[in-house]
Amino acid sequence: MSQAKKALTFTTRPGHSVSGDIIVPGDKSVSHRSIMFGSLANGTTHIKGFLPGQDCLATMNCFKAMGIEIEGPDSDHNVTVHGKGLHGLSQPKEQLDIGNSGTSIRLLSGILAGQQFSSSMAGDVSLNKRPMARVVEPLQLMAANISAREDGTPPVVCQGLAENQKLKAIDYILPMASAQVKSCVILAGMYAEGVTSVIEPGITRDHTERMLTAFGYPVTVEKNIDGDEQKTRISIEGGHELTACDIQIPGDISSATFFMVAGLIAKSGQLTIRNVGMNPTRIGAINILKAMQGDLTIINERMAGGEPVADIVVKASQLQGIDISERDVPLAIDEFPAIFIAAACANGTTRLRGAEELRVKESDRIQAMADGLVELGIECTVFDDGIDITGGEIGSGTIHSHDDHRIAMSFAISSLRATGSITILDCDNVATSFPNFVSLANEVGLSITQA
Ligand SMILES: O=C(O)C1=C[C@@H](OP(=O)(O)O)[C@@H](O)[C@H](O)C1
Ligand SMILES: C=C(OP(=O)(O)O)C(=O)O
């Protein structure tokens, strides 16, 4: 499935100034959940600001394949989902094609575990190498008949529950700070008898909890478990219902980070990024870039659709290397490739630890970034759970993105400080999260050609 040969190459020329006033596309995590919860709700959900990236379209196609009528996205990024309730999905005729999206396969595992029909999910080469035992194990504890391959990779295959059979509620301590695993167990909890609770060891994005609440499904969140402010317990009782609602999706802070870093490392200029989601569980990149003495100003803070949003003004800055706080790791988990480029342009050394999760994303993001940085002449030392990067002059060279959208976009941004051209291979997957990245980047002053 999804195995077509990919060959889009970016070629960059050095840039200088970055300036403009831009809007980044809708948040990927929130877009996925809007389709999932809209499908499981009673009634019609209207979504504004949906991300038309391939990952979210994969989620949408899965629900269409399970009998949900979904209209859009139209050219204004509106989507309408005609939900059929928690028990309204029907058996897909074929294996569900999840493409490149870890969020889709892991959250869907929790939903499919509670259905009375059998199903199977797999994706592209990258997804089919990613660990699924982290969702299969808790779901098996809930008495779901679900499995992955022996090495824990997809396909994820789920046998339906018997008529009148419910999942078993569990208390589960997450082995890693993962919003995908947390969300999977919570979603399965809607199909369980009793109260399921999950304790997360570090604060992770809470879009599932917020959006379930918006759809009228009760969720209890207790912070500061065992006196540890990093530990949160999330509990959900089976048997309630979701009621359709209107969803306004904020701009994706993960996409905005490429432009924050671009604006900071540029030799001059000022950039405003509008309507960026500022959920406190997502702002690690802002914390880190500010700690590096990046000139970021947050203005027009407001609430939109149950999520805080703001505009960010970015000015070219001389960044300083720092030791990144481990608390910011889950809050910035997808932003590290871009942050590594900021580190390569900073004075001194930036050190990251406690980030072993980066090794199991669309690529091994520690190694893929280190290889690319070394190719461009930047000194780095790799550790199992992190990296040290010493700022220096960025040269020219050829980078392998490993089919990872965030690696491709990060090195495209590094061109602003490069002494020569950078060629970035296998960039098709930029369309999974940020379909208009190249046009927006060129609009603010970068020079990227794609062929
Ligand atoms: O729940 C989500 O929407 C996501 C959670 C994170 O993954 P993990 O939960 O595996 O850290 C993140 O990397 C991913 O891009 C989106
Ligand atoms: C890790 C990511 O996504 P996913 O896990 O959904 O593939 C990402 O977008 O950086």
Nearest CA among 32, 286, 46 for reference residue 179: 32
Taking residues 290-300, what's their average pLDDT? 98
For residue 305, the model assigns a pLDDT of: 77
- Output the pLDDT for position 109: 98
CA–CA distance, 369 with 363 (Å, rounded to integer): 10
- Residue 328 clears pLDDT 70, i.e. is over it: yes
pLDDT of residue 6: 54
Pocket flag, ligand 1, residue 170 (CB < 6 Å):
no
Please give the backbone phi and psi of residue 104, each rounded to the nearest 5 degrees, phi first: -65, -50
Pairing of strands 10-13, 447-450: antiparallel
- Summarised one tens digit per residue, pLDDT across range 236-260 is 999 999 999 999 999 999 999 999 9
Ligand nearest to the backbone CA of 100? 2
User: CB of 39 closer than 6 A to ligand 1?
Assistant: no
- The answer regarding whether domain 10-26+250-450 maps to CATH 3.65.10.10 reads yes
Report whether residue 350 contacts ligand 1, using a CB cutoff of 6 Å.
no
Instruction: Report CA(330)–ligand 1 centroid distance (Å).
Output: 9
Query: Average pLDDT in the 81-91 region?
Result: 98
Tell me whether residue 372 is annotated as binding. Answer: no
Residue 113 contacts residue 158 (beta carbons within 8 Å): yes
ω into 155 cis (within 30 of 0): yes
Confirm or reject: Cβ of 104 under 6 Å from ligand 1.
Answer: no
Span from the CA of 269 to the centroid of ligand 2 (angstroms)? 30
Q: Which fold has domain 28-248?
A: UDP-n-acetylglucosamine1-carboxyvinyl-transferase; Chain (3.65.10)
State the pLDDT at residue 306: 79
Domain with CATH 3.65.10.10 in the chain: 10-26+250-450, 28-248
Question: Which residues 6+ apart lie within 8 Å of 241 measured at CB?
Answer: 41, 42, 85, 86, 216, 217
Question: Residue 252 catalytic?
Answer: no
Instruction: Examine the pLDDT at 304 and tell me if it is beyond 90.
Output: no
Q: What is the pLDDT of residues 168-187, one digit of tens each?
A: 999 999 999 999 999 999 99
**Sign (positive/negative) of CA torsion 426, 429, 430, 435?**
positive
Residue nearest (by alpha carbon) to ligand 2 atom 10: 334
ipTM exceeding cut-off 0.90 for this assembly: yes
Amino acid 370: pLDDT: 98
Average pLDDT over residues 42-52: 98
As for ligand 2, residues whose beta carbon falls within 6 Å of it are 55, 101-103, 334, 361-362, 406, 433
CA distance 63 to 69: 8
Is 27 annotated to bind a ligand? Reply is no
Alpha-carbon 114 to chain mean position:
24
**Which mutation among 35, 54, 101 tests ligand 2's pocket best, with the greatest number of atoms within 8 A of CB?**
101
In a mutational test of the pocket of ligand 1, which residue from 29, 34, 103 has the highest number of ligand atoms less than 8 Å from its CB? Answer: 103
Q: Are 420 and 414 in contact (CB under 8 A)?
A: no
The two structure tokens encoding residue 396:
């020219």
* CA angle (276, 14, 269) in 5-degree steps: 45
Residues 6+ apart with CB under 8 A from 270: 19, 263, 313, 314, 315, 316
pTM of the prediction? 0.97
Three-state SS string over 37-76 comes to HHHHCEEEEEEECCCCCHHHHHHHHHHHHCCCEEECCCCC
**How far, in Å, is the centroid of ligand 2 from the Cα of 404?**
9
Site to probe by mutation for ligand 2, drawn from 98, 358, 362, 363 as the one with most ligand atoms within 8 Å of Cβ, is 362
Q: Which residues contact 228 (CB under 8 A, 6 or more apart)?
A: none
* Pair 287, 339: CB distance under 8 Å: no
Adjacent-strand bridge partners of 327: none
| pLDDT level of residue 165 (50, 70, 90 thresholds) | very high
Q: Is the pLDDT of residue 2 over 80?
A: no
Looking at residue 394, the DSSP 8-state letter turns out to be B
Q: Are 47 and 74 in contact (CB under 8 A)?
A: no
Q: For the residues 204-219, what does the mean pLDDT come to?
A: 97
Q: Does residue 23 carry a pLDDT above 70?
A: yes
Check if 334 has its Cβ closer than 6 Å to any atom of ligand 1. Answer: yes
The string of DSSP letters for 350-383 reads EEE-S-GGGGGSSS-HHHHHHHHHHHTT-EEEEE
3-class secondary-structure state, position 98: coil
Ligand nearest to the CA of 103: 2
Ligand 1 centroid from CA 180, angstroms:
5
Q: Phi/psi at 94 (nearest 5 deg)?
A: -130, 175
Tally the residues of the chain: 451
CA 21 to each of CA 15, 17, 158, 258, 366: distance values in angstroms, whole numbers, following the listed order = 18, 14, 47, 14, 32
Alpha carbon of 228 to ligand 1 centroid (Å) = 22
